[in-house]
A and B are shown apart, each in its own frame.
Chain A
Amino acid sequence: MSARTRRRLAADAGLLVVIVAFVLPLAWVVLSSIDPEADLKVKAPDGFTFDNYSEVLTPDITFTPLLNSLILCGGATLLTVVCSALAAYPLSRYKSRLSRPFMLTILFSSCLPITAIMVPVYALYVQVNLIDTMGGTIFFFAVSQMPFGIWLMKNFMDGVPKSLEEAAWTDGASPMQSLIRIVLPLMGPGIAVVTVFSFVMMWGNFFVPFMLLLSPEMMPASVAINDFFGNKGTVVYGQLAAFSMLYSTPAVLLYVLVARKLGGGFALGGAVKG
């Protein structure tokens, strides 16, 4: 056995140990969701059933919270993407002595721990009557992702050569027309990354709706799952697992879809390297 093969086998063995450790909690949720007698440990299911799914597939438990999540995250993502694309255009296209400080402020705000400002946001929302409204929550969600959205969008837009637009300008197109007709269609992957990244971050976020929404009928899945299962005396673990599966699937699917198209670690290419 050559040294190279030996090294590869050693690396494989090391990774397999980590894989097992990471897979155990994931295996629990998948197996328990089809197990008629699920408990808290990973085990082969005692039979196979879809009862857990049919039990939770009711308007109260699943459909309303998921629809609320969709409205909140969809609305906020749309707002983030539109505002980021608009803001990125002048920042990417025109030279100005203010763009650098502006971009630095944006980078700085994208790093701030949003958790830390939720209490003042709550207090402020109580004062201006935005507390417990979908609109108020959508706006805050959108703003929480906007700095990063602008940052990514500007970097992607820098990748579209200016010369392509110049032809359109000589034909008399306005900057808005050339943004919509030429630049944005050419940066499809960039828009996909910003959209999916914002959506997935919001879909999984717990603290923002937990603080800003109060009425049970407006709660998105992240808070509803906690209320429903956390506050009941006896938890039916199979149902909890089934609901977790239903709630996680959109986030995982979206990630896989975009990662497939753009290669792994896509979001970081633009994000971390600037």
Chain B
Amino acid sequence: MKTPPGPGRPAGQKSIGRSLIRALPVSPAVVLLLLFLAGPIGYCVYIAFTDLQLTGQAESSFVGFENFTDAFADDNFINAVWLTIVFTVVSALIGQNTLGLGLALLMQKASKPVRTITGAVVISAWVLPEVVAGFLLYAFFRKEGTLNAILDFLHLPTQNWLYTLPILAVSFANVWRGTAFSMLVYSAALNEIPAEITEAAQVDGAGGWRRLWHITLPMIRRSIGTNLMLITLQTLSVFGLIWVMTRGGPGNKSQTLPIFMYEQAIQNSMIGYGTAVALLLLVFGSLFSLVYMRLLREEV
């Protein structure tokens, strides 16, 4: 599959040889991708069905679907699935997506300096390394942190956010860090809507919300689909941000699937079990990727 024969395949030896030479530059990438990406994925499928443990145990044996049945009987796993869903829905589908769209819409109308500052600030949060973002939001949500200082100033009740509502705190952290992506996608999409269309609707007397619902949103629906898929995939793989802020705690109250997978595989040395969880995450991610590719189908 990786060595494309020329357009006229049956043309004989000479053309096959030529095609091979032409395809030669693809080979370093293909070899690396097979060794370091396809290899681990294949290995993942294999060890998910074994009881492999961390070094020291000489042999692992095939256990069939045991890891998976164990997982679905494991309260901690079910907890992690729920928290992952909450984290993805709250931070990506609702938070980043809506805020990103809102910012892009407002930026269209706002004055230039405000628009520039918004872009700079929101994108800075996005460009910062994951761990640094984690520390900043940790400081923000801590008992002695900025959020409580503000609430206190406003005479509102304060609480220890990282203990009482850890999953909400990390979700907000992910909104803070990831909104720039949606904002950029939607800004690009909105810029492509021809001005005549919105003007025509305005002349017809359509108000702001109706224009948004009936004209703007339908016109950028492809971007909405693309954006939802991509931010879901990005959010499913968030590890460092949560690890730095809460380590999945207190207890397992912010333990999403990547954190659960890490704890089972490395800290509890159950590589087989952790990999089974990883495989579920991978399959779930692949399904999202496939939907995304269908959305893009015409463009490839």
Contact = CB atoms under 8 A, between A and B. Distances in A.
A126 interface: yes
B4 A146 contact: no
Contacts of B271: 119, 122-123
A240 B300 contact: no
Interface in B60-81: none
Given A26-B121, A255-B127, A273-B299, A115 B237 contact: yes
A124 B16 CA distance: 36
A150 interface: yes
B153 to A, nearest CB: 10
Most chain A CB neighbours (cut-off 10 Å) among B44, B117, B125, B135: B135
A217 B262 CA distance: 23
A84 to B, nearest CB: 7
A222 B30 CA distance: 29
A108 B290 contact: yes
A159 interface: no
**By DSSP majority rule, is chain A's interface helix, strand, loop, or mixed?**
helix
Interface in B90-119: 99, 102-103, 106-111, 114-115, 117-119
A19 B119 CA distance: 9
Given A39-B144, A244-B136, A119 B36 contact: no
Interface in A3-31: 7-8, 10-12, 14-16, 18-19, 22-26, 28-29
Interface of B: 1-7, 19, 22-26, 28-30, 32-33, 35-37, 39-41, 43-44, 47, 52, 55, 99, 102-103, 106-111, 114-115, 117-119, 121-125, 127-132, 135-137, 139-140, 142, 144-146, 148-149, 176, 181, 184-185, 187-188, 223, 226-227, 229-230, 233, 236-240, 243-244, 258, 261-262, 265-266, 271, 274-275, 278-279, 281-282, 285-286, 288-290, 292-293, 296, 299-300
17 contacts: A18-B99, A22-B121, A25-B137, A29-B132, A83-B32, A86-B26, A87-B26, A94-B22, A98-B3, A104-B293, A111-B233, A118-B278, A119-B278, A147-B33, A206-B240, A264-B123, A265-B187
Closest 8 CB pairs of A and B: A206-B240, A204-B129, A96-B4, A115-B237, A111-B289, A120-B44, A98-B4, A113-B237
